[in-house]
Amino acid sequence: MAFSMQPYGIQSMLKEGHKHLSGLDEAVLKNIDACKQLSTITRTSLGPEGMNKMVINHLDKLFVTNDAATIVNELEVQHPAAKILVLAGKAQQEEIGDGANLTISFAGELLQNAEELIRMGLHPSEIISGYTKAITKTIEVLGELVEEGSETMDVRDKEQVVTRMKAAVASKQHGQEDILCSLIADACIQVCPKNPANFDVDNVRVSKLVGGGLHNCTIVRGMVLKGDAVGSIKLIEKAKVAVFASGVDTSATETKGTVLIHSAEQLENYAKTEEARVEDLIKAVADSGAKVIVSGGPVGEMALHFCERYKLMVLKISSKFELRRFCRTTGTSALLKLSQLKADDLGFIDSISVEEIGGSRVTVVRSEEGGNKIATVLLRGSTDSILDDLERAVDDGVNTYKAMCRDSRMVPGAAATEIELARRLKEFSFKETGLDQYAIAKFAESFEMVPRTLAENAGLNPMDIISKLYEKHASGNAKVGIDLEGGDSEDGFCKDVSTLNIWDLYVTKFFALKFAADAACTVLRVDQIIMAKPAGGPGRREQPAGMDED
């Protein structure tokens, strides 16, 4: 009698292999623990002195980075609660493109403090209500901390852009931020449309080429395409361009066609008419004034022959998106068929040249006078992983630019904002009656994580610094932050950040804190977990952690 022996409770009702966790100890605290573990991993990468992580993903690809978004992405977190944190980090990455580390680390800290509260005897729902009150207050205070005069900015003024971008880039590539920021700012300003709110991240491209060093990095106003030109013409200047979305070849019917030939004469004639057709088409292109043909598909042998004869340069761009970008760069629209051209179908470029950089051939398309729609940051570095990391720093910088185009407000960086928020929130918690105040106080305490981590990562004494920061903030200067290089000066490591010029964007902080608080509350709200048996499948044994993210 197998089923009379079934245990009582939910476990008996579920399919084999299901796991069921419930209650404070089993679900809530375990969840918190998992989230803590995750944030411990990312935390050491926070800030300019953050450590790099070496992550090898399931495809054996190596990542050396301190970008939290990449780390958690490649970690393939399995624990459901920790995954909520990862999702919050990803949401931040998608929304702003920077600050993922702050989101995850802060959420982890919030949960760690929640654990202490739970051990004190508070119910999670009380913590949630306290945290919700605290985040609302935080947002309010954050709005007050915005640096005066930063509401408006000229997004085309390089200096202002660099000021706002520096902290974001510095946290990824410390010590190289000056070079990188100037490059990124140049590229962004160049492609910034008339209405800055429409700035598209896609318009700043990154091209990575192994070799050289950071000092060889340049900006190309236009595009850098990997690969060679098809024909023998490798350099052309100040020319008109025709873009064809389909291939440059003889036209074909959708239905299968067969050439009907009755005699040898016809065979000969057929080849001739074919040739004449192609020549007509290519000639039409050449006559229209175009000197460059860009094809989205294959280029026929015969067409290529005539292109050479009419001195046309031929480029092949097989990616549809790349082709669209090329169209944007040159101000053309891609034509579907090789046919008669109108003058306004043509675009204009300053130069197209095939260059050899660091052993690989690239086609550099420059368009300085024209649309100026696309800029490419040409990154050089000694290894692939360095290049990848540089690329992420550039991406963060570009995303920061996008964020500042929408909302240019900034707040003091280098943990000055966090300390001020902590201070104000603590005051707020004293005014609160009821059990909420404990949760709000803990929320305030969680902000100390940022200066503590910054100090720890830089090898300084965190307690010392935090107390000093509090002292200075209490005396009225809300802009005092950590100066990581200020050991010799009389102020020690605490300095007014407005003199250091370290600023964070208001939106980045806003979203990061909000996502973090949301994620923490979500994790706390869960009191039962029901896990299905992990789906099996081939190859799971080789890579026990290799389950798909989505």
Partner 1 sequence: MSLRVLNPNAEVLNKSAALHMNINAAKGLQDVLKTNLGPKGTIKMLVGGAGDIKLTKDGNTLLKEMQIQNPTAIMIARTAVAQDDTSGDGTTSTVLFIGELMKQSERYIDEGMHPRVLVDGFEIAKRATLQFLEKFKTPVVMGSEPDKEILKMVARTTLRTKLYEGLADQLTDIVVNAVLGIRKPDEPIDLFMVEIMHMRHKFDVDTRLVEGLVLDHGSRHPDMKRRAENCYILTCNVSLEYEKSEINAGFFYSNAEQREAMVAAERRSVDERVKKIIELKNKVCAVTENNFVVINQKGIDPPSLHLLQQEGIIALRRAKRRNMERLVLACGGEAINSVDDLTPDCLGWAGLVYEHVLGEDKYTFVENVRHPHSCTILIKGPNDHTIAQIKDAVRDGLRAVKNTIEDEAVVLGAGAFEVAARQYLINEVKKSVQGRAQLGVEAFADALLVVPKTLAENAGLDTQDVIIGLTGEHDRGNVVGLNHQTGEPMDPQMEGIFDNYSVKRQIINSGPVIASQLLLVDEVIRAGRNMRKPT
Helix axes 449-457, 462-474, angle to 10 degrees: 130
Judged by beta carbon, residue 378 or residue 516, the one nearer partner 1 is 516
The tokens of 5 are what?
């022996």
Distance CA 536, CA 111 (A): 32
Q: Applying CB under 8 A, which of residues 152, 195, 255, 433 lies at the interface with partner 1?
A: 255
Asked if residue 509 binds partner 1 (CB under 8 A), the reply is no
Asked if residue 12 binds partner 1 (CB under 8 A), the reply is yes
How does DSSP classify residue 211? B
**What residues from 449 to 488 belong to the interface with partner 1 (CB under 8 A)?**
none
Judged by beta carbon, residue 445 or residue 549, the one nearer partner 1 is 549
Judged by beta carbon, residue 178 or residue 202, the one nearer partner 1 is 202
**What residues from 73 to 92 belong to the interface with partner 1 (CB under 8 A)?**
78, 80-81, 83-84, 87-88, 90-91
Judged by beta carbon, residue 22 or residue 353, the one nearer partner 1 is 22
Number of residues that bind partner 1 (CB under 8 A): 75
Question: Among candidates 480, 475, 473, 476, which has minimal Cα distance to 498?
Answer: 480
**What residues from 527 to 546 belong to the interface with partner 1 (CB under 8 A)?**
527-535
Bridge partners of 495, per DSSP, are: 481
Q: Applying CB under 8 A, which of residues 25, 61, 94, 369 lies at the interface with partner 1?
A: 94
Distance CA 446, CA 351 (A): 55
Handedness of CA 423, 424, 426, 427 (dihedral sign): positive
How does DSSP classify residue 218? E
Asked if residue 345 binds partner 1 (CB under 8 A), the reply is no
Judged by beta carbon, residue 28 or residue 170, the one nearer partner 1 is 28
Judged by beta carbon, residue 136 or residue 467, the one nearer partner 1 is 136
From residue 510 to residue 529, the character string flagging contacts with partner 1 as x (rule: CB under 8 A) and all else as - is: ----xx--x---x--xxxxx
**What residues from 265 to 304 belong to the interface with partner 1 (CB under 8 A)?**
266, 269-270, 273-274, 276-277
What residues contact residue 395 under an 8 Å CB cut-off, 6+ apart? Answer: 97, 201, 206
Smallest distance, partner 1 to C-beta of residue 309, A: 18
Q: Strand runs (DSSP E) across 300-427, as ranges?
A: 313-316, 347-357, 360-366, 375-381, 410-412
Smallest distance, partner 1 to C-beta of residue 465, A: 33
Asked if residue 547 binds partner 1 (CB under 8 A), the reply is yes
Judged by beta carbon, residue 1 or residue 59, the one nearer partner 1 is 1
**Own/partner pairs, 382-388, CB within 8 angstroms, 24+ separation:** 382/210, 382/211, 382/213, 383/210, 384/208, 384/210, 385/62, 385/63, 385/64, 385/65, 386/64, 387/208, 387/209, 387/210, 388/63, 388/64, 388/65, 388/208
